[in-house]
Amino acid sequence: MSSLEALIFDVDGTLSDTERDGHRVAFNRAFADAGLSWDWSVETYGELLAITGGKERIRHYLDNYNPDFSMPENLDEYIAGLHAAKTAHYIKLLENAEIPLRPGVERLLNEAREAGLRLAIATTTTPVNVTTLLKSTLGEESLDWFEVIAAGDIVPQKKPAADIYDYALEHMSIDAANCIAFEDSRNGIISSHGANLKTIITTNAYTEKHDFTGACMVVDSMGDDSTAMHVIDGHQTELPSMTIELVKEIHAQCEFLAVNDNE
């Protein structure tokens, strides 16, 4: 039986509820700066989250929600400019400490470090988004907690492709059997399972109705003193929070079940 050696975390929606009150707000501010009348509502943004990657999301919006928009000659460059402006607004939100970590995340990370477990990140968001979130919530030194921060466009395909997890595993020189991933979405678990990683899901308002077939455990948060963790599916426990001992138990008892991304 393989022993647990490392935890690999998604970021948006998993470490922090960044989507609704972070990325969505930043996109809308970037659109306003560009003189565009586009406004992504909470509902619209929830639909757009089916597309991973900010630049990809803008293109999908133009193709499917705003087909009458007069496309500029160099669309790729235009979209990249909008996305860069969005990132700048998002960084400001982070630097102003307007986007906290989800309940129990900091505690779990500290427990993992105390237990000698290795940590890594695998996300489609840009590297600067990750590092700024970590610094604004956990301090500058937290960047050294993570052995690998796999983020952004360093791989050919974004989630639900497994590329970003494969990259993290390769650069950690570790077998997937010795790791467990933390995700929040259907695309996320398709990605992690594509890299043969057992996966724990922590849902949020945007993903609570996703299909998480194959997850070792589905919970609504990691849980802390003010917000108890509730088990939605999978491994059962009466504990009010996700502890490292519980993670080890899940890893040992969970039977890996590959996800069919065509379902």
pLDDT exceeds cutoff 70 at 83: yes
- Please say if 10 is a catalytic residue: yes
Span 88-111, average pLDDT: 95
Whole-number Å distance between alpha carbons of 228 and 30: 36
Choice among 10, 17, 220, 224 that is catalytic: 10
Q: If you average pLDDT over every residue of the chain, what do you get?
A: 94
Model pLDDT, residue 1:
66
Choice among 12, 184, 220, 224 that is catalytic: 12
Model pLDDT, residue 50:
87
- Please say if 12 is a catalytic residue: yes
Domain annotation for the chain: domains and CATH numbers: 6-17+101-253 (3.40.50.1000), 19-95 (1.10.150.240)
Model pLDDT, residue 259:
63
Q: For 11-24, what is each residue's pLDDT tens digit? A: 999 999 999 889 99
Model pLDDT, residue 263:
45
